[in-house]
């Protein structure tokens, strides 16, 4: 069957269409993305302003048309932290649902962590043992750990790359003082989170997913030696820390000249790098393995499981 997943996120409205059936790996067929960076459209009281709502409705309209043109048999739709936390989130959800012709589901942060963990577990397989997952979205950072398809611990904290950029790095490029303020904030938030993972065993693999982390791996990491798949990458913490000061000095418009940094990530890649570096430090992680599968793939796999 042909499945579509529409992700109304903090940074983008992204439609992914795959050909899939139970027991088989989903094969991507169509990808359509609108870059919005919703954090820019929040009023001081936490509501998405009229300009942001209009941009969301327009992006959802285009995505729905793309899904119809691709001949999807079923469209899975979901929204994450930007709409979940907006003061006028229910109103925005109603408007987008009307455009889509179906309800736009809102995922909790824990749901995001669990579904992303499912995708990563399937990608790495049962032989990978205990996995610790980091996933940096636009509005939140998801963390999960376990040995099964449902993690033993799943947490979501407000350390997304877009949110952190708007709150702490208003200048382009950011000042050293702004970077230090974000580092301190991330370290404080993470110190409270690490304790939830304390009773768990040391993981066999520490995995990073999301476009932000994949972009940083292309910039500061390296492919797995001898791997058959071009999607197998590693990101050492020392190389990320080496790159961070240089990356922070480059204006956002010039960052696309760097390896792995696409136009939709230039705005918040520095904040993402700071959050990731602090997360690796807080969990005493020297190296990340990179997963090409994340939340959208997790939703697809969960739906296929229910069909099987």
Residue pair 253/268 in contact (Cβ under 8 Å)? The answer is no
Q: How many residues does the chain have?
A: 308
Structural domain contains residue 93:
yes
Residues 238 and 90 in one domain: no
Handedness of CA 179, 184, 188, 191 (dihedral sign): positive
Residues 71 and 134 in one domain: no
Whether residues 79 and 133 share a domain: the answer is: no
Q: What is the pLDDT of residue 18?
A: 97
For residue 225, give both structure tokens: 């030696």
Domain with 218 in it: what CATH number?
3.30.420.150
Smallest CA-to-CA distance from 294 within 209, 228, 223, 231 is with: 209
Give the C-alpha distances (Å, rounded to integers) separating 52 from 11, 55, 231: 12, 5, 34
Whole-angstrom distance, CA of residue 264 vs CA of residue 267: 7
CB within 8 A of 78, min separation 6: which ones? 5, 6, 7, 8, 104, 105, 106, 107, 299
In a domain, 116, yes or no: no
Whichever domain contains 39, its CATH number is 3.30.420.40
Pair (76, 168) in one structural domain: no
Confirm whether 305 is domain-assigned: no
Its pTM stands at: 0.95
CA 213 – CA 165 distance, rounded (Å) = 15
Q: What is the pLDDT along the chain (308 residues), one digit of tens a residue?
A: 999 999 999 889 999 999 998 888 999 999 999 999 898 899 999 999 999 999 999 999 999 999 999 999 999 999 999 899 999 999 999 999 999 999 999 999 999 999 999 999 999 999 999 999 999 999 999 999 999 999 999 999 999 999 999 999 999 999 999 999 999 999 999 999 999 998 888 999 999 999 999 999 999 999 987 766 667 899 999 999 999 999 999 999 999 999 999 998 999 999 999 999 999 999 999 999 999 999 999 999 999 999 86
pLDDT score at 228: 65
Per the structure, the count of domains in the chain is: 2
136 within 8 A of 275, measured Cβ to Cβ = yes
Domain finish residue from 80, 106, 132: 106
pLDDT of 203 reads 97
* Confidence (pLDDT) at 227: 65
Domain encompassing residue 221? 123-295
Distance (Å, whole) CA 237 – CA 293: 21
């Amino acid at each position: 069957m042909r499945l579509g997943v529409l992700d109304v996120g903090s940074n983008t409205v992204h439609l992914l269409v795959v050909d899939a059936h139970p027991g088989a790996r989903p094969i991507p067929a169509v990808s359509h993305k609108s870059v919005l960076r919703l954090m820019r459209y929040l009023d001081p009281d936490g509501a998405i302003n009229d300009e942001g709502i209009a941009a969301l409705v327009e992006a959802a309209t285009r995505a729905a048309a793309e899904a119809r043109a691709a001949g999807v048999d079923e469209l899975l739709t979901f929204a994450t932290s930007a709409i979940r936390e907006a003061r006028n989130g229910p109103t925005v959800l109603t408007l987008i649902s009307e455009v889509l012709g179906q309800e736009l589901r809102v995922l909790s942060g824990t749901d995001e962590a669990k579904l992303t963990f499912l995708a990563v577990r399937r990608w790495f397989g049962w032989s990978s043992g205990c996995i610790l997952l980091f996933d940096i979205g636009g509005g939140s950072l998801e963390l999960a750990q376990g040995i099964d398809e449902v993690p033993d611990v799943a947490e979501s904290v407000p350390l997304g790359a877009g949110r952190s950029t708007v709150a702490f790095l208003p200048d382009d490029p950011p000042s050293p003082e702004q970077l230090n303020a974000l580092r301190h904030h991330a370290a404080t938030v993470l110190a409270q989170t690490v304790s939830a993972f304390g009773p768990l065993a040391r993981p066999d693999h520490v995995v990073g997913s999301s476009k932000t982390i994949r972009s940083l791996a292309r910039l500061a990491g390296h492919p797995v030696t001898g791997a058959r798949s071009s999607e197998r990458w590693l990101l050492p913490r020392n190389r990320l820390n080496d790159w961070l000061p240089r990356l922070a000095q480059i204006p956002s418009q010039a960052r696309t000249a760097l390896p792995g940094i696409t136009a939709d990530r230039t705005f918040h890649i520095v904040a993402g790098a700071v959050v990731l570096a602090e997360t690796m430090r807080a969990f005493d992680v020297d190296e990340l393995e990179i997963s090409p599968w994340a939340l959208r793939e997790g939703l697809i796999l969960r739906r296929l499981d229910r069909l099987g």
